[in-house]
Amino acid sequence: MRQWVKWTASMLVMLIAVGQCMWTTAGAEAGPSAARYISVAYTVQPGDTLFGVARTFYLSGDDYARIAAYNGIASAAGLKAGTTLILPNPILIGMYKVRKGDTLYAIASRQFPRSGYIRAIMQYNDILDPAQGLRTHAVLVIPQPTGNVKHTVQPGDTLYGLSVRYFKPAAYLQFLATFNSLDPAAAKLLVGQKLAIPNPYYAYSNMPTGASAANATQPSASDGQPANSQPTQPTQPTQPTQPAQPGSSTSQTAKPSPSAQTPSIRIDLSENKLSVLAGTKVTRTFAIASGKTKGLTPTGTFAIITKIKNPYYSARSIPGGDPANPLGTRWMGLDVPNTNGTKYGIHGTNVPSSIGKYVSAGCIRMLAKDVEWLYDAIPTGTKVVIAA
């Protein structure tokens, strides 16, 4: 019996060690109530720069300073090929170039192996030794592409057993397909085609900025395009506050009620109007552009999880701030399921005449002055209701 236990523990260690993506134990000292995220170890390649690594894994070159701070190196320092960078809570875990004979199922199986899932459970629950038994009745956070679940450890539970119960390959196939705007049942992959490999456990509110910090960052997006290299702006979800009103005084004699302090956004696709509400009162209304065909713009209740100045447009590799960038000067991404906030959002436009029309690939367009006002007035976490 003792030999069997040792063999099982050894096999589990080997299984974790061979994971295709080397996920690290960043955040292990965070404690049980701390935010959960995974980290990726990246081996620097010849010619790599901090800016390039940041743009690949965080979809924003602007995050290079954060990577430098987390790894204890100068942000202006060059990178030495062969060294390792720890990338905490990346939006992507890499890019994949399709090879002959590849299928989406095979790619998903390689990119999201069971070994990586076990490692994610360990990171989320500060488990440093995979051979260490699980404490009965302990409550573990179990990561899933669709959201975390909790599991109360029962006698006999093991990490491998938890992976058998909770790791569902079909969910990761769907996640990969949705992120890249592919149909998992009928996707025909082209040799040389590049796929973004998203982090299925991305924590929207838990992006570390240093070796022991845990501040939030958000992903970026393009107008109806899968995100490949979009810039992000680090933002910490906060308690929403009332948007600034033109001519309003900064001093108040009475504290507003909680409902009056909470902004929200209502979008009416039938009229192409976006309204900002403070509690139940409409404070501003703007004309917008939306999906060119019915159903392209998602309907429902979402939250803003991304705030980006001068977003990079990945579909045509157009830098942020370029007059030709169709995303304009601001991006606010929505938490539409399986998109990591990188596909649908509220953004500006370089074609002002499109406002009021049904012309987009699914996003909400606004005039530059309007989207810039909204960006400053609305915090991350703001509720957005979209109705047809």
Closest residue by Cα to residue 82 from 44, 47, 50: 44
> 294 vs 134, 249, 349, 352, CA distance in Å?
50, 42, 21, 22
Please tell me the predicted confidence (pLDDT) of residue 42. Answer: 92
Please tell me the predicted confidence (pLDDT) of residue 60. Answer: 67
Q: Specify the DSSP class assigned to residue 254.
A: S
Task: Give the separation between CA 335 and CA 382, rounded to whole angstroms.
Answer: 11
Helix (H, G, I), strand (E, B) or coil at 161: helix
Where are the alpha helices (H) located in the chain, listed in sequence order? 2-17, 50-58, 64-71, 104-111, 114-124, 159-166, 169-179, 258-261, 368-377
Closest residue by Cα to residue 217 from 342, 113, 95: 342
Please tell me the predicted confidence (pLDDT) of residue 5. Answer: 38
Fold of 258-387: L,D-transpeptidase catalytic domain-like (2.40.440)
Task: Give the separation between CA 363 and CA 245, rounded to whole angstroms.
Answer: 26
Low-confidence ranges of the chain (pLDDT < 70): 1-35, 60-62, 186-187, 204-261
Catalytically active residues, by annotation: 347, 363
Partnered with residue 263 across adjacent β-strands are 278
Q: How far is CA 140 from the centre of its chain?
A: 22
Q: What is the pTM of this model?
A: 0.54
The domains of the chain are located at 2-198, 258-387
β-pairing, 330-334 vs 300-309, is: antiparallel
The set of residues, in sequence order, having a beta carbon less than 8 Å from that of 198 and lying 6+ positions away, is: 91, 92, 93, 175, 176, 179, 340, 342
Structure tokens at 195: 């796929």
User: What are the tens digits of pLDDT across the range 143-180?
Assistant: 888 778 899 999 999 999 999 999 999 888 888 888 88
Closest residue by Cα to residue 366 from 295, 283, 285, 298: 285
Task: Give the separation between CA 242 and CA 249, rounded to whole angstroms.
Answer: 13
Partnered with residue 140 across adjacent β-strands are 151
Which residue type occupies 131? A
Residue that has been written with the tokens 């769907």 in this structure: 174
User: What are the tens digits of pLDDT across the range 172-214?
Assistant: 888 888 888 788 876 678 899 888 898 888 776 443 333 322 2
Answer whether 61's CB lies under 8 Å from 231's CB.
yes
The contacts found for 42-45 with CB under 8 angstroms, 24 or more apart, are 42/84, 42/85, 42/86, 42/87, 43/82, 43/83, 43/84, 44/79, 44/80, 44/81, 44/82, 44/83, 44/84, 44/85, 45/81
Task: Give the separation between CA 74 and CA 177, rounded to whole angstroms.
Answer: 37
Please tell me the predicted confidence (pLDDT) of residue 251. Answer: 32
Answer whether 163's CB lies under 8 Å from 114's CB.
yes
